[in-house]
Structure formats: structure tokens, C-alpha cells
Amino acid sequence: MSLRTSTSQTIGPYLRIGLEWMVIEDLAPAAVAGERVRIEGRVLDGDGKPVNDAAVEIWQANSHGRYASPDDSGSAPLEPAFRGYGRSLTDDRGAFRFRTIKPGRVPGPAGKLQAPHLLVTIFMRGLLKQLVTRMYFPGDSANADDPVLALVPPARRGTLVAGGSADVLQWNIVLQGKDETVFFDF
């Protein structure tokens, strides 16, 4: 028998009551292998105003390219201290932040490897369902033939690649307008 997925509803303005207990902005304790990265960004609405009530969640592989999930049957090693899940709730500047490690490459469609990326979901008041996007790493040569980036119109690909310095990556989530972030139909 087939059922239908429950209808999504907005997270509303009071998300902190339910979600603040599990804010995870520091994903990788010292023992976890990999290149350390700090990611900082802001969520901005159609008027360029900060969104101060968003939940930004990330999901990523470890530096060996393995997800800490029973559905990743790959042979790359797991890191017991690394789950790969992060949650940041935006502040009055619309800012979110993560400290993590750069993920390794994971398999993609047609046996090709994907470029290192974070899968990102954003919930907020004013969204009846989550936005889904990805963040890629600047200057990574693998970006050029990433199978998912290849699906994005070339002029908009830049919205999915972080900027900033090597120490602090900057990546804004722009909901509308000229620099609107690419969001996926998931």
C-alpha cells in the first residue's frame, strides 16, 4: 500500500523553543582528521534584510568521503567522533556559523565522484517547506566537473561556492534578487 508524505508546514517564528537544545556549530573535535574550515554567512530576504529566525542545517561526509550513515556502504574509514551534522540558528544579523572539516569526495551519478560539498537545508518563518541547497569550496579543481554543479546554469553557479579567505569561508544565503542563491527542487 502506498501512503502520501505528510504536508510540510512552516517552522514558524518560535523554532528556538524546540531546536535550540541541539545547536551544533562545531562539528569536528580535535581528534577528527581533515582540513579545518570556518564557515560564516548571513541569510538575507528579498529586501536585503537579515533573516533572524532561520535554522540552517548542514550534512556532510568526513574527510575520507564517508557519511556516518548506515546507508553509506562505502569502504572509506569512518571517524567515530564525526557525525557530519550541524545546526545553526541565525541571530539578529541573520548570521549563522560552523566550524568543521572539509569533506572528502563522495560518489555521484554515473560512477563520477562529486566535488567536496555540504548539503544545506534552511527552515524559517515564511517558508512552508525547507529550502535545499549546497555549498562548495572555493578553488577546488573538482568543482569544474561536479555532476550537480553542472546542472546549474553557469551564470548562477557562483552562488553555491563559498568566498572569503582560507581561514574563514564566507557564504551568504540570498533568498531573492540579483544574487539569489540557487535552490534545488529536491
Q: Does 28 bind other proteins (CB under 8 A)?
A: no
Instruction: Give 147 or 166: the residue with its C-beta nearer to other proteins.
Output: 147
Position of cell 579543481? Answer: 141
Phi, psi of 172 (to 5 degrees): -90, 150
Among 28, 39, 119, 135, binds other proteins (CB under 8 A): 119
DSSP string, 10-78: ---TTHHHHHGGG-B-B---TTS-S-EEEEEEEEE-TTS-B-SSEEEEEE---TTS--SSTT----SPP
Distance CA 179, CA 177 (A): 6
Instruction: Give 148 or 168: the residue with its C-beta nearer to other proteins.
Output: 148
Query: Where in 121-160 is the site for other proteins (CB under 8 A)?
Result: 121, 123-132, 134, 147-148, 151-152, 156
Q: How far is the CB of 39 from other proteins (least distance, A)?
A: 17
Distance CA 36, CA 28 (A): 8
Q: Does 13 bind other proteins (CB under 8 A)?
A: yes
Q: How far is the CB of 83 from other proteins (least distance, A)?
A: 5
Q: Does 15 bind other proteins (CB under 8 A)?
A: yes
CA–CA distances in Å: residue 105 to residues 33, 55, 83, 115, 136? 15, 26, 16, 6, 11
Among 40, 76, 83, 140, binds other proteins (CB under 8 A): 83
The residue type at 86? G
Among 29, 70, 80, 154, binds other proteins (CB under 8 A): 70
Q: Does 79 bind other proteins (CB under 8 A)?
A: no
Instruction: Give 25 or 168: the residue with its C-beta nearer to other proteins.
Output: 25
Among 117, 136, 137, 143, binds other proteins (CB under 8 A): 117
